Each structure stands twice: as structure tokens, then as C-alpha cells.
Structure 1
Amino acid sequence: MRTKRFSKKGMWINILLFLLAVIFLVPFYICIVTAFKTPAETAVSTWSLPKGLDLSNFAEAMEKSNFLQSFGNSIFITVVSTLGIVLFSAMMAYSICRNQESRLYRMFGSALFIGIMIPFQVIMIPVYKMFKNMGLLNTYRGIIILMIGTSLPYASYLVMGFIKSIPVALEDAARIDGCNIWQTFWKIVFPLLKPITSTVGILHVLWMWNEFNMSFIVLQKEAMRTLPIQQYHFFGQFTINLNLGFASACLSMIPVIIFFLFAQKLLISGITNGAVKG
């Protein structure tokens, strides 16, 4: 009886997981199928398969969206922002964790938690006005500063949980050997943070590649736009070109899918190690 009860429970769990998988995969199906259709085929049915593989949508989407330039913008902004987040979050988390006796650093830790809870939409208008007055609109440094600043609370909070598991005795031994605080961090502590820094880096690469709100506000000139912003312009107020829009979306998904396939082992390892150490 107990085996039957567990088998029924497992069956319902499998059914639920299958339904969830279908829900998540349906948008990908629509995106890929529509990218290969002609506008006439899309008007007839969204769900039907294309009669042939119409690659003209991809060529036209690349031309109209200035794909290569937008791709370069996305690569540069994503890489530089992610490196900044990994380095600054590690330093911030270390300084807060190793100075818990200081009231000021405890306040910094609380401020990080508050920063996680505040959505970007709340500060969107003040940020726009501030960046406009500082001349940071339509610049790489403006969007990179904004992305790093809004990501540091979450990233630092992740790293803090990992640093707490590192024995302070290792740092004491390094200081006895003559290391200063910078040498202790970069030569002793930072290498031990590889599992969590890898996780933070991978998560933020995936997030920043698809980031829309901040890029839409800061990067208004066409030459500065990233891939998600260029895709948005296929969906206008009076006209919507689904075929070109989804073709552009398929092209922008390829790099991040390839990146995730190579990086998923590091991501899983970082999450697992962090859970065990915490």
C-alpha cells in the first residue's frame, strides 16, 4: 500500500513537472516557428508549422536591427558590467563580513538587504534625471555604472554567505607571514571564492544580456542600443512585425544558450558548494 501511495504521488509530480515544462517551452516554440514563417502564414495561424524554412526573415532582421553593432554593444556592456559586479561584490562582502563589530559596517549590510527589495522602477525617473545632468546618457560608462550599482546588493549578499564559512585563521596566518589586507584578500580569500563568484558571474551574464529597462532609459541613440532594445522597435504603436521580431529574438538567444551550456557545470557547482558551506 505504501509503495502504491508513493508511486501515485510520483506520478502526479511527474505530470505537474511535464505541464510546467510545456508552459515554459510554448513561448520558445512560438518564437522559433514564427521566425521561419512568412507574414501571410503567421496571419493564418500562430501555432501551425511553417510550410518552408524562410531564412529571409533573419537576413532582414539583421539588416534592420543593425545586428552586428547591437551585438557588439551587448557583448561589451555585459562583459565589463559582470566583471565589475564580481570584483566589487567580493570586496564589499569581505569588508562587511570581517567588520561586524563595527556599527557602520552592520548598517552597510542592512542597506544591502534594503537595496535588494527596492525595484528599479521606483528609482527610474530620478536616475534618468541624474544621468542627464551628469552627461551619462547614451554612454557606455553610464549604463555600466547603473548595471553594477543596481546589481551589487544582490551579488554582495550572495558572496557574504560564502565568506562567513571561510576560517579567519587563514587570514591571520597570512598576516603573520607579512601580508597586508589587500594581499590577504586577493591571494588568500578571493581564490577561495571561485564557486560563488562563478555563480554570481554566470547569473548576471544571463540577466544583463536580456536586460531591457535600464538600457531603454540610458541608451537612446541607435548606435548605442543593445539587442533587446533593437528587438523592441519591431513592435511599434501602429505596426507589429512578428516575423522579424522573433527572428531577431532567435539570433540573440544563440550566444546566451551556448554560454549557458558551457557554464552550467560551474553554476551548479557554485550553488551546491554554497549550500553545503552555508
Structure 2
Amino acid sequence: MMKKKGSITSIIKFLFLGIFFLAYMVPFIFVLINSFKSKKEILLNPMALPSKINFTNFLTAFNKMDYVHGFTNSLIITVFSVLLIVVLSSMTAYILVRKKWKFNQAIFFVMVASMIIPFQAIMIPLVRIYGSIGMLNSKWALIYMYIGFGTSLAVFMFHGFIKSIPLELEEAAMIDGAKGMQLFYLIVFPLLKPIAMTIAILDVLWIWNDFLLPSLVLIAPEQRTLPLSTFYFYGTYTADYGLSMAGLILTIIPVIIIYLILQKYIINGVLQGSIK
């Protein structure tokens, strides 16, 4: 009897999850289906399957939105920002945990408190200040800002993880001759792989998809990231639904691929971080 109740409960849970999954996926499926259709087909029946698989919309969108240029800019900004956030934040967290300096705790609390401040509250002052010193319209200025906005959360996550690493490992390495930063890079940093991968993937999804900050910093068309290129492309070809939807699909494909490849690290990192 208990087994029967358990199986019924499992079926009900599965049905609810299936319904939520379909509700979540329907908009994406709708965009994907219509990206293969002409404007006439979409207007006649937007819910119908395409009469034939046609990649004309994707080729046209690829060329008109200057996909390669936008992709390259997004790739440069994302890679450098994420690498620097992971490396600098892990080093900062290590010092805050291992060094028993009096002001370490105050610095940590300030960094945690800074996460409460919404970006919209400092958006206008940020643009005015950096615009007055000529730091706008540059990928490297944007990378610098991403490091500033992403470091606090990363330090917070690394801080809890490093506290769980036994100090005896570093003491044993010191006996073997390791000194200074060797202790961190050879002993501690390899153990941070799960949480580092989690932070990296979350930051990749954030930075790659971010629209607001690049729209404030990157003004020239040649500096635009992929979301900005998609926005201006969509504004120009709003009436051509198939072309617009093909541009949207091209924009999200890289993130989906990255997430599918590295999703196990997110789960492992979150689980280990919560346990530790």
C-alpha cells in the first residue's frame, strides 16, 4: 500500500514538473519554429510548423547584425572578465581567511554589504564619472567595471569554501618547501575547482547576456556586444518576424552550448558549497 502511494506521488510530481517545463519551453519553441518561416507564413499561422526547413533567415541575420564582430566583442569581454574575477576573488578570499589581520573582517563585511546596492542606484553617477575621464566606449573599461561588480559575490562564495580546507595541507606543503603564493596556486586553488567553475559559469551567463551596462558604456557600433547587436538589429527589422527571431536564436546558441557542457559543475559546486 505504501509503495502504491509512493508511486502515485511520484507520478503527480512528474506531471507537475512536466507542465512547468512545457510552460517554460513554449516561448523558446515558438521563437525557434518561426525563425525558419517567412513573414507570410508567420502571419498566416504563427503556431504551425514551417512548410520547409529554410536557413535563409539565419544567414541574413548573421550578415546584417554583424554577428562575428558582436560575438568577438562579447567573447573578449566575457573571457577576460570571468578569468580576472575568478583569480582575483579567490586570492582575496584566501587572504581574508588565512591572514588574521584586524581589518580583514571589516573588508569582508563591506564587500558583502555592497551586494545589497542595486546597480540602478549607481548607474547615472557611474556613467558621468567615467565619461568625464574618458573611460567610456572601451571594452577594457567595461571589463574593469564587471570585475568591480562581480568580485563581491565571488569573494563571498570563495570565502566559505576556503574556510573548509584544512590548514594542515598548507603546513605540510610548507615543510616540503612551498612558500608564499605557491601555497595558494599549488595547494588551495586546485581544491577550489568546483566553486570556481560554478562562479565562472554564473558570471559567463551574466556577462554574456548583460545588456544594460554595455549599452551605457559601449557607444560606437564596432564596440557592441552580441546583445547590443541583437537589440539594434531587432529594432531595424522589427516588422520581419522570422528574421528577428533568427537573430534571437543566434544570440542565445553560444550560452546554451556552454551551459549544457558545464552544467554538472554548477550542481557540484552548489552542493559542495552548501555542505561546506
Common fold by TM > 0.5: yes
Calculate the TM-score normalised by the size of structure 1. 0.90
Rounded to whole Å, the distance in 1 between the matches of 2:51 and 2:122 is 47
Q: Residue type matched to 1:23 in 2?
A: A
CA contact (8 A) 1:234 1:242 kept: no
- The one-character-per-residue Cα deviations of 1:89-119 (angstroms, maximum 9, x if unpaired) are 10111122224x5442112221222222222
- Whether 1:171 aligns to 2:170 is yes
Single out whichever of 185-194 and 170-179 deviates more from structure 2.
170-179
Q: Which residue of 1 aligns with 2:37?
A: 37
- Inter-CA distance 171–265: structure 2 relative to 1 (3 Å threshold): same
Which SS does the other structure have where 2:235 is aligned? coil
Rounded to whole Å, the distance in 2 between the matches of 1:116 and 1:20 is 31
- The one-character-per-residue Cα deviations of 1:47-79 (angstroms, maximum 9, x if unpaired) are 222222232211211122111111111111111
Q: Which residue of 2 aligns with 1:262?
A: 261
- The one-character-per-residue Cα deviations of 1:204-252 (angstroms, maximum 9, x if unpaired) are 2222221111111111211011111111123439954432222112122
Rounded to whole Å, the distance in 1 between the matches of 2:116 and 2:44 is 44
Which blocks of at least 5 consecutive residues in structure 1 are unaligned? none
Rounded to whole Å, the distance in 2 between the matches of 1:37 and 1:132 is 43
Question: 1:15-94 to 2 correspondence within 5 Å?
Answer: 15-94=15-94
Matched-pair identity in %: 37
Question: 1:157-168 to 2 correspondence within 5 Å?
Answer: 157-168=156-167
Q: Residue type matched to 2:45 in 1?
A: S
Q: Which residue of 2 aligns with 1:242?
A: 241
Calculate the TM-score normalised by the size of structure 2. 0.91
CA contact (8 A) 1:89 1:159 kept: yes
CA contact (8 A) 1:234 1:240 kept: no
Rounded to whole Å, the distance in 1 between the matches of 2:114 and 2:20 is 31
CA contact (8 A) 2:195 2:269 kept: yes
TM-fit CA distance, 1:2: 3.3
Q: Residue type matched to 2:217 in 1?
A: V
TM-fit CA distance, 1:5: 3.4
TM-fit CA distance, 1:178: 4.7
Q: Which residue of 2 aligns with 1:271?
A: 270
Q: Residue type matched to 1:98 in 2?
A: R
TM-fit CA distance, 1:157: 1.2
TM-fit CA distance, 1:258: 2.4
The alignment yields a C-alpha RMSD, in angstroms, of 2.1
Single out whichever of 138-147 and 233-242 deviates more from structure 2.
233-242
TM-fit CA distance, 1:176: 4.5
- Whether 1:142 aligns to 2:141 is yes
Single out whichever of 5-14 and 28-37 deviates more from structure 2.
5-14
TM-fit CA distance, 1:199: 1.7
Q: Residue type matched to 1:225 in 2?
A: R
CA contact (8 A) 2:81 2:143 kept: yes
- Whether 1:126 aligns to 2:125 is yes
Rounded to whole Å, the distance in 1 between the matches of 2:228 and 2:240 is 15
CA contact (8 A) 1:234 1:241 kept: no
Which SS does the other structure have where 2:93 is aligned? helix
Q: Residue type matched to 1:80 in 2?
A: F
- Inter-CA distance 45–115: structure 2 relative to 1 (3 Å threshold): farther
CA contact (8 A) 2:64 2:233 kept: no
Which blocks of at least 5 consecutive residues in structure 2 are unaligned? none
Number of matched pairs: 276
CA contact (8 A) 1:215 1:225 kept: yes
Rounded to whole Å, the distance in 1 between the matches of 2:73 and 2:241 is 24
TM-fit CA distance, 1:80: 0.7
CA contact (8 A) 1:138 1:219 kept: yes
